[in-house]
Structure 1
Amino acid sequence: MDWNNCFSHGRFGQGVISTTPRTPYERDFDRLIFSAAFRRLQDKTQVFPLPGPVLVHNRLTHSLEVASVGRSLGKLVGERLSEELGDHLSEAAKHFYTSDLSSVIAAACLAHDIGNPSFGHSGEAAISAYFIDHAGTILDGQPLHQHFDAAEWQDLTHFEGNANAFRILTHHYANRQKGGYQLTYTTLAAIAKYPCESVATEGGKIHTKKYGFFQAEKQGFAEVAQILGMVVESTDPLIYKRHPFVYLVEAADDICYRVIDWEDAHRLGIIDTGTAVNLFVQLLETSAIDKMERIHKTLRELESDPREQLAYLRAKCINYLAISCVEEFVKNRETILTGSYNRSLIEGIEPASIKALEEINKVTVKKIYNHETVVKIELAGYEVMNALLQSFIPAILRKSPTHREKKVLKLLPQQFRGENDTPYEKALAVLDFISGMTDSYAMELYKNLRGISLPTHT
């Protein structure tokens, strides 16, 4: 892999490369913005329950903000790479880095959460838990787990939103276009934080901490990797080194969730103004680019409006962390290119800044992630997702479904039905349906199937 050939405007699943006034990467962004999967993120939990009297972030607003930060990271890094690499870059590469990298990172950021199911990360855990807990359930004379091979079972018992995102973006659903969204290979690679299969997951390595593609999409991912020259670490199990652009998408996400959850928590009264302001100020005090005298002056001017104080500090913190991540990327560009840079960019910034972020994270875990409302939504997610899977998985796998199961299968949209599919493909089709649900729809269907409420006429 080289800085001259680690990108391609070729499209997954599209045999020809069309030309339009928009760049291929701008078209990636637009395809995602107008997609149903992206729209559904507006009713998927980020951290706090939706909806409520106080407007908080959902998956969609989070993704838009990550895309905004990602666009800036891509622009700044692209300009720096063009300067630093100079004559080493071809004219096409110079154009890409100065004009197109920002669009690639923005598009990948839009899609980074598109595979996450309802109810936050507890939705992922609930899907995995269903298969683990029902491994011994007898279907057609054999336990559930025996319907799948070892690698397939690993996928199902360790459901991963990152792998699900790659599937949503590339899978050929019935009566849909081949190649899914037909995004560019570059944008798809930039999303793949964990470029390995589920049986290859291993702690201690940033690129194998989780996995990035299901067995069903293994060949498709290999195609993306081959086109872009991604470094192969192992063929069995299949593991690639990260694509360099992944680090920028990851950094944009890291910056946003570390900072923006605090605004929501402050609005909800979970974190007091003093704590929020003081810890953000402590982070900015580690910055060599910010003038603290001016920051304190602005805070005094805004002291009658604590929300505006926090909004101001949030903007300053995002700017500082973004610039720090750009510097870290450029400084370590060669190890990043080879995929041997084994940490996130935000973990490589100034030690004093990392310490300040750790203090913020301690409060985040204690007061936000373990807040009663957050715990309740996670528990509700377990109950709802488990109940939906109990209704659909046996129904789709059984050769002779019961009368109730036949009725349940009528609720499965046509693109998720494959009469000749393997048990694994059928199970993934159900997961496509359930993981794509919004929080509200999943809850309503759960109530309908349990007889708690009846559907309203539409």
Structure 2
Amino acid sequence: MSFPPDLHSRPFGVGAHASFASDPERARGRLHPEADSPTRSPFQRDRDRIIHSAAFRRLQYKTQVFVYHEGENYRTRLTHSLEVSQIARSVSRMLGLNEDLAEALALAHDLGHTPFGHAGEDALEEVLHDYGGFDHNAQSLRIVTRLERRYIAFDGLNLTWETLEGLVKHNGPLTGPLARDKGRPLPRAIAEYAELHDLGLDSFAGPEAQVAALSDDIAYNNHDLDDGLRAGLFSIRDLADLPLVGPLFHQVRADFPDAEPSLHIHEVVRRMIGIMILDLTGETRRRIAELRPESADDVRHLGQPLAAFSEEMRAHDAALRDFLFTHMYRHFTVNRMTSKGRRVVKELFRLLWSEPECLPPEWRRLTDGKGTPRTARVVGDYIAGMTDRFALDEHRRMFDLQEKP
């Protein structure tokens, strides 16, 4: 097994890769063959295609928790994806992994999210239940393999096998004995694509995808903590008994007693992210030394994740998730807005499914009649791609008699 110099003692410089990193020169190619670029690696091209996609631009007006008009300082899916990308690149550099692939996966991981966050996803899952359901990871795959139309030769972005694999498997195997959700059927979009392009759904993803998934956890929890405090959904005092977070606030107040509370929040979030990154790299290095993978394929077939938090950090992370679930995601003001979001999505779906002639022409052409399974999927794709702002505007245009169509 080959490591870059001083694997256990210092971060790596750009270009220093471990033997188990994904090698762009050995990438498994694309569904539609293309000539190599003389200036960019395959994973760099994937990253650039994602950044230039319409779906990526729309993340600017798709929210994490708050709807876009509730405040311009709250996170959107776009700012969250950029934050995940920064963390994923840093961790990958420290572990000697391929930063470009980790970045591509971090930037693409939320492409399939609906307007109004999980409320919109739940609403689409309900109305599409008899037509294959809805899953945001499957929708991400659908976007990058079908719905994005930028190239004459093919639909989608024609990303590499490694990026597509990481996109659908970043949380673990989807089929076989190691599948995370054994009782849940494979989302239709993933099953259909796998018939064309085998993504090895019964194994773990490569190391960069595993790092990107945990970078998502680091960014999500810490920045929701930040947004929740700034929105007044809970206070610093409410966090006093929370493991890791409570002691950090106590320490920061002791270190900077005269600083403004807003700066205390910034400092705690900064320290939390640093602590979680160090824990992730430390535990992953421990597993590397124990499991000794020689290649990215070895990582896929270890039978367990290579990238992971320590047991103690997993407990801290779970406690923070539980706190945020109770005090933020189920706060009555958030519940009211998510309730509105669910109603908007359901009402738009039912109207457009029964009256597809109200769809824009480029979408109507894809339908095959009123109330059909095909039309249901087309309407689902149309609504899933909406931003919060566009969904609210479209609902107003469709249901307010005083509004121009």
Please classify the TM superposition score into its range, dividing by the shorter chain length: 0.7 to 0.9
1:120 to 98, 117, 120: 117
Match of residue 190, structure 1, among 154, 157, 166: 166
**1:44 corresponding residue in structure 2:** 62
Residues in 1 aligned to 2:259 and 2:103: alpha-carbon distance in whole angstroms:
35
Find the counterpart in structure 2 of residue 109 from structure 1. Answer: 106
Q: Name the residue aligned to 1:129.
A: 126
Residue deviations 1:270-307, cap 9 Å, x none? 2223445774755777xxxxxx9xx9478633642222
Distance 1:367 1:419 in 2: 45
Cα distance in 1 for residues equivalent to 2:221 and 2:149: 39
8 Å CA contact 1:195, 1:207 repeated in 2: no
Are positions 1:332 and 2:287 aligned together? yes
Change (3 A) 1:52 1:111: same
Q: Distance in 2 between matches of 1:281 and 1:119?
A: 30
Question: Are residues 224 and 69 of structure 1, via their aligned partners in 2, closer, same or farther at CA, if it must alter by over 3 Å?
Answer: farther
Q: Which residue of 2 aligns with 1:17?
A: 35
Task: Name the CA distance, whole Å, in 2 between partners of 1:174 and 1:38.
Answer: 13
In 2, Cα distance between the equivalents of 1:299 and 1:210? 49
- Residues 205-242 of structure 1, C-alpha deviations (whole Å, 9 max, x = no match): 42658677534x5353355545xxx3xxxxxxxx5222
**Secondary structure of the equivalent of 1:413?**
helix
1:371 matched to 2:334? The reply is no
Structure 1's 213 and 326: CA in aligned 2 closer, same or farther, altered over 3 A? farther
Paired position in structure 1 for 2:322: 362
Letter in 1 for 2:226: E
Aligned with 1:257 (options 200, 204, 220): 220
Amino acid at match of 1:304: A
Amino acid at match of 2:236: T
- 1:181 equivalent in structure 2: 157
Match of 1:271 in 2: 234
Deviation of 1:117 after TM superposition, in Å, equals: 0.6
Give the TM-score, by structure 1 length.
0.71
Equivalent AA in structure 1 for residue 124 of structure 2: I
Superposed CA deviations along residues 111-147 of structure 1, whole A, max 9, x for unmatched, are 1110011111111110122245xxxxxxxxxxxx5xx
How far residue 13 of structure 1 moved from its aligned partner, in angstroms, is 3.9
Separation in structure 2 between the aligned mates of residue 24 and residue 6 of structure 1, nearest angstrom: 10
Cross-structure match for 1:32:
50
- Check if 1:214 corresponds to 2:188: yes
Give the superposed CA RMSD. 3.5
Deviations 1:47-68 (A, max 9, x none): 1232234611111111110111
The answer as to 2:202 corresponding to 1:240 is yes
The 2-side partners of 1:23 and 1:180 are apart by 19
The amino acid of 2:188's aligned partner reads F
Corresponding letter in the other structure for 1:38: F
Equivalents in 1 of 2:221, 2:187: separation in Å?
A: 26
* 2:339 alignment partner AA: L
Q: d(CA) in 2 for partners of 1:368 and 1:131?
A: 28
Give the aligned partner of residue 301 of structure 1. 256
Instruction: Specify the alignment match of 2:7 in structure 1.
Output: none
* 2:348 match: 388
CA–CA distance in structure 2, aligned partners of residues 269 and 175 of structure 1: 43
* TM-aligned CA deviation for residue 165 of structure 1: 0.1
* Contact 2:145–2:156, Cα closer than 8 Å, also in 1: yes
- Which residue identity lines up with residue 436 of structure 1 in the other structure? G
1:449 maps onto 2:398 in alignment:
yes
Tell me the distance in 1 between the aligned counterparts of 2:348 and 2:301.
43
Contact kept? 1:63, 1:110, Cα under 8 Å:
yes
CA distance in 2, matches of 1:211, 1:317: 36
Identity of counterpart residues, as a percentage?
22
Q: Secondary structure at the match of 1:66?
A: helix
3-state DSSP of counterpart to 1:266 = helix
Q: Residues 240 and 247 of structure 2 are in contact (CA less than 8 Å); yes or no, is this contact kept in structure 1?
A: no
Paired with 1:72 and 1:222, the residues of 2 have a C-alpha distance of 35
Rounded Cα–Cα distance in structure 2 between residues aligned with 1:320 and 1:48: 27
Structure 1: distance between partners of 2:72 and 2:240: 20
- Alpha carbons 2:116, 2:388 under 8 Å: kept: yes
SS of the residue corresponding to residue 171 of structure 1 reads: helix
Query: Is 2:377 the partner of 1:428?
Result: yes
Runs of 5+ consecutive residues of structure 2 not aligned to the other structure = 1-18, 292-297
Q: Which letter maps to 1:250?
A: A
Q: Measured at CA, do residues 174 and 4 of structure 1 come closer, stay the same or move farther in structure 2, by a change above 3 Å?
A: closer
**CA 1:201/1:435 → structure 2, altered by over 3 Å: closer, same or farther?**
farther
Match of 2:138 in 1: 163
**Alpha-carbon distance in structure 2 between the residues aligned to 1:223 and 1:76:** 36
Task: Summarize deviations over 1:175-208 as a string: whole Å, max 9, x none.
Answer: 85414112222122111236777xx699x94265
- Superposed CA offset, 1:370-410 (max 9, x none): 112211121111111111111122334xxxxxxxxx3x13x
Alpha-carbon distance between aligned partners in 2 of 1:424 and 1:273, rounded to the nearest angstrom:
49
Aligned to 2:74: 56
Read off the aligned partner of 2:156 and give its amino acid letter: G
Contact 2:283 2:307 in 1 (8 A): no
Distance 1:175 1:32 in 2: 11
Per-residue CA deviation, residues 396-430 of structure 1 (Å, 9 max, x unaligned), is 4xxxxxxxxx3x13x2535862559x954443222
Mapped contact 2:115–2:386 kept (Cα < 8 A): yes
Structure 1: which amino acid aligns with 2:38?
T
Q: Distance in 2 between matches of 1:207 and 1:20?
A: 42
Quote the residue 2:304 is aligned against.
Answer: 341
Q: Distance in 2 between matches of 1:33 and 1:21?
A: 17
Deviation of the 1:3 alpha carbon: 4.1
Check 1:255–1:195 CA distance in 2 against 1; reply closer, same or farther (3 A cut): closer
Find the aligned partners of 2:404 and 2:94 in 1 and give their Cα distance.
51
Return closer, same or farther for 1:5/1:42 CA change in 2, 3 Å cut-off: closer
Cα distance, 1:174–1:63 mapped onto 2, change above 3 Å:
closer
TM-score between both structures, scaled by the size of structure 2? 0.80
